[in-house]
Amino acid sequence: MCALLLKPEALQYEFDNIGYVGFEIEKEFVIGYGLDYNGKFRNLKDIYREVTLGART
């Protein structure tokens, strides 16, 4: 098994056969570079994460 993107906090099962991890990220929503949301955004050239802006006053 190969894992290029790993979210350790989001793992539901323990794997002992991961051969390669490109990098680890926090448990957050990401899209792009092959990762999609409802079939969209898969073809983005980079990986993007959701950013929540603070409340405006």
- Residue 56's pLDDT is what? 66
Predicted structure pTM score: 0.56
CA-to-CA dists, residue 24 to 11, 17, 57, angstroms: 12, 16, 35
Q: How far apart are CA 14 and CA 7, in angstroms?
A: 12
- Residue 18's pLDDT is what? 80
Consecutive 10-residue averages of pLDDT for the chain (57 residues): 70 82 83 85 86 73
In 3D space, the residue among 36, 33, 2 whose CA is nearest the CA of residue 17 turns out to be 2
